[in-house]
Amino acid sequence: MTDLNPARILAIETSCDETACAVLENGRALLSSVVASQMDIHARYGGVFPEVASRQHVLSIMPVVEQALNKAHLTLNDIDAIAVTQGPGLAGSLIVGMNMAKGMALALGKPLVGVNHLEGHLYSAWVCDAGEDAPPEPQFPLMALLVSGGHTELNLMTDHLTYQRLGSTLDDAAGEAFDKVARLLELPYPGGPSIQKSAEEGDPERFHFPRAWLDGTWNFSFSGVKTSVLYEVRELQKKSKSLPTPDLAASFQQAVIDVLFKKTMDAAREFGAKEILVAGGVSANRPLRQVFKSQAEFPVHIPPLSLCTDNAAMIAAAGYYRYALGHISGLEMDILPTWPLS
């Protein structure tokens, strides 16, 4: 690809329960990133309460944008384009961010770039802090595993903004399975960090939970392993008052990691990928990161922990390439775009 024109992108992300804004330069150099988390607010419900989330976004959006600009030592006049998550996500939450971005773009006369949230997660691998030595960019063709609370997908990236979806989850996403198993084990929300923490004291070989390989496809299924944990918990509760929670957590976690790793490696070989990218909230899981970094036969790109969960830096990175390559949605963009985007 030829060199792209330099640009500063201000991005807004409000797809779920994080109010985020970031300023990114030239698709990689992160000048600022601010995230206002609602995790403590929703923990009491055991999950995200959509109406509460959207109301909190209304309260947080202006301060978050102002803080991002201040941290970048810039004003809105220094920004070349506004990027915003346009979907998928909670409708009420998305509207808050989109209306903010549309208003700014209209008032400033700046281009508005709509970004698919899933695409943003993939582009988190391009982001690095401004002023630091930038790591090598991911090289195409790239096998991208997107693994989060609502999505588990394998996408072949052959160039910027060019994707071929190979497979996705047929039922529960990996992150969703983590949350549900955490509830079964009476571990706190969110389930991913709770499972990981409990598993550190457990034996991953104590229980052999099933791996759904779905031979002949690149799809995933995690409903079966979740149900298997449920049945095991019920049987153990009949025999004893206390559960071996760390062993259950470690065995479940290992079953999920085994499937994610093997299917990604197999797909990379099958489609001739040069490198592998792992992104999304579940990519923050420490054992998953260790397996990919230590056992993969390809160079692996995994974003830093701060960019694994929802953030605006990833939206800015995807927004930069959409802006630089002329893929701009405009003020009339759809709220729920299709995926993969081509």
The 10 Å Cβ neighbour count of residue 213 is 14
Q: Residues 161, 291: one domain?
A: yes
Q: Residues 239, 310: one domain?
A: no
Lowest mean pLDDT among 261-265, 314-318, 324-328: 324-328
Q: Residues 113, 45: one domain?
A: yes
Q: Residues 205, 94: one domain?
A: no
Q: Residues 102, 156: one domain?
A: no
Query: Which candidate, 8, 9, 20, places its Cα nearest to that of 96?
Result: 20
Token pair 């508005």: residue: 112
Q: Residues 119, 149: one domain?
A: no
User: pTM to 2 decimals?
Assistant: 0.92
Q: Residues 115, 201: one domain?
A: no
pLDDT of 334 above 70: no
Asked whether residue 166 is domain-assigned, the answer is yes
CA–chain centroid gap for 148, Å, is 5
Question: Treating both helix axes as pointing N-terminal to C-terminal, what angle do 223-239 and 245-270 enclose, rounded to 10 degrees?
Answer: 160
Cβ atoms of 197 and 213 closer than 8 Å: no
Domain tally, the chain? 2
pLDDT in tens, 101-145: 999 999 999 999 999 999 999 999 999 999 888 899 999 999 999
Please return the burial class of 50, using the count of CB atoms within 10 Å of its CB with bins 0-12, 13-18 and 19+.
middle
Asked whether residue 342 is domain-assigned, the answer is no
- The C-alpha atoms of residue 247 and residue 258 are separated, in whole angstroms, by 16
The chain-wide mean pLDDT, for the chain, equals 92
Q: Which domain holds residue 235?
A: 142-302
Q: Residues 36, 171: one domain?
A: no
Q: Residues 43, 65: one domain?
A: yes
pLDDT in tens, 36-87: 987 777 777 777 778 888 999 899 999 999 999 999 999 999 999 999 999 9
Asked whether residue 137 is domain-assigned, the answer is no
Q: Token pair of 181, please?
A: 């198993």
The 10 Å Cβ neighbour count of residue 41 is 15
Q: What CATH code is carried by the domain that includes residue 267?
A: 3.30.420.40
Q: Residues 296, 311: one domain?
A: no
Single-letter residue type at 254: Q
Note the pLDDT of residue 215.
95
Q: Residues 91, 203: one domain?
A: no
Cβ atoms of 122 and 313 closer than 8 Å: no
Asked whether residue 339 is domain-assigned, the answer is no
